[in-house]
Structures are given as structure tokens and as C-alpha cells.
Amino acid sequence: MLIFHSKASAGHFTPDGHPERVARVAAVLRGLEGVGSQWRESPIADEADILRAHSAAHLARVKSAAPHEGWAQLDGDTFMSEGSLEAALRAVGGACGAVDAVLAGEDGRAFVIARPPGHHAERDRAMGFCLFSTVAIAALRAIHNHGLSRVAVVDFDVHHGNGTQDCLWDEAGVRFISTHQSPLYPGTGEARERGAHRQILNIPLRAGGSSAAMQAAYEGAVFPMLRAYQPQLILISAGFDAHRDDPLGGLGWDTPDYAWVTRGLCAIADQSGAVPVVSCLEGGYDLNALEKCARAHVAAMMGDGDE
């Protein structure tokens, strides 16, 4: 198991009271204490990778917005500090580095402690705490640098990954699957949103749900689609804000639910012929829940029981 991380993620500061805060990384690191994995530094992303998912104008705007002190506000809830650009570039670089490593056979599993998150960043717009669409960029790297033709992206964040969907809308080689609370920010993710090649599956879930409702969605739709698709790589947008204690969602999941869904995804990867799995951190804003869920998720990726 590989874990990609950079101390630069702690250099991305947001205003006091903002839910996407430095303490999130510390919580994940506490959760992963003692995990017997190979830790690697997340490198700076190659701009060529970013430009597969985002316009040159978007990249230029983000780079020019980075302040020398204080904060720059890109939209109502998306901020940059002096260290934010490096943090975001290393989040993307970590995801791309993880894809390279697992496809080179260095390990079958990798987790990227990516901060800021990425799945709300659209092709031409930073939003929802996100600057670059990290997992979409990693998926496109797998296709363009490694010649893959069937990449699956599974997003179980409580919020719909509108940015991932936007960046991959025209990409026939990537199957994007999202379970998310609806209605909820950002207001996208209806089942009728299918992509240019009908390669997108959105499964909206109602607030106040349960473990049974989540498992029914995965056993009834997500897992069968993945088995039929036979992906060559599975990427996970691992948001832990569907947890019952999270302040930004209301799906009512619990820590064992994340272990359950992770084991299910990894089982499909194993059944498909030792297909590699790369997971990238997205949301999760209750620090105690985030710590426990990150540990349960990584333990399940490693095949370590029901932690």
C-alpha cells in the first residue's frame, strides 16, 4: 500500500471557521498512524496533465490569483493563501504519481492525502473549496500516458462531483459513477446526466438515509456496472462527509459503511484480475469522523478486516 502526502498540504490556509481547514490533514495523519505502508512525497504536477482537464485560461487564473499574503477569494467558499497553489499542484501530482506507481506494478493500492480537494473544480471554474479536478486529471493521465481504455472513477463524497463530471463529460474511456445526497450543493448529479457517451452514472440519495439504502445503491447499481465494465484501473474520490457526524451532509453513514464500500470496490478490482486501485481524499469535515473513516478506508484497501 502506497500513501502519497506532502507537508505542503498544510500550507493551504482558509479563513477562521472555514470547514476545509488545515486540521483535516492532521486528522487523517492521526488515523493512519501505525499503518504499515510505503509513504511517498507528492510531487508537483505537470501542467500538461492539468491542461488535459482544464482550460489554459483556468490554469492561468488560478496561478495569478495566488496571493503573497492573506487570502484571495475565488468564489463564495473557495479561498487561496500563499501556499495554496503548491498544495493544489502537489495534490494533483500525488494522484498522478500514484497512478504511475500502481500501473508500473509497484503496488496494487495507493491512497493520496490530497488537499485542497478537487471534485468540484470544473474545466473553467474553481469552486466548492476546489482548485483543480484532481481525480479527473489522474484518470486522463492513465489514458494518455499509459494507454488505458477503461478507467472507472467512483465518487462517494456526500456532494456530487460536478467538476469531475464536467472534465470527463466527453471522455469515452472513463466511467464516472457518483453516489451523493440530493438535493444538496452543488445542485447537479441528477440521474439524467449521462455524459456524451452515456458513460456517467449518477445515483442521488435522499437525506436521512441509512446503511441499508447505501448498500442497496451499490449492490443494485454501482457494483454490477463495474463488474460489467471490467475496468483496468479504479479511482476513488474518497469523501467522508456522508458520515452522520459531518456538518455539511445528512446521509447518516457510519464508519463501518466506508470499510464496506471500500472492500466491495477492492473485491471487484481483485475479481477483474488484480486491477489497481487509487483513492484520493475529497471531503470530510468532522475531524473525529474523518480520522476514523480514513483509517477504516485505508485498512479496507489493505485487506485488514473491519476496522
- Element at 288 (helix H, strand E): helix 287-301
Helix (H) or strand (E) holding 3: strand 2-5
Using only C-alpha atoms, the chain has a radius of gyration, in whole angstroms, of 17
Q: Are strands 233-238 and 2-5 parallel, antiparallel or unpaired?
A: unpaired
CA angle 64, 66, 72 (to 5 degrees): 110
What is the rounded distance in angstroms from the CA atom of residue 153 to the CA atom of residue 174? 7
Q: Is 23 exposed, middle or buried (0-12, 13-18, 19+ CB in 10 A)?
A: exposed
Q: Cα dihedral sign for 21, 25, 26, 32?
A: positive
Name the 3-class secondary structure at 90.
helix
Alpha-carbon distance of 209 to 215, in angstroms, equals: 11
Q: Grid cell 469531475 — which residue? A: 164
Show the cell assigned to 50: 492539468
Q: Residue 64: CB partners within 8 Å, gap ≥ 6? A: none
Catalytic residue check, 120? yes
User: How, if at all, do strands 79-80 and 72-73 pair?
Assistant: antiparallel
Collapsing DSSP to helix, strand or coil, 144 comes out as helix
Separation CA 267–CA 75 (nearest Å): 39
Name the active-site residue from 120, 159, 160, 243: 120
Q: Which residues are marked as active site?
A: 120
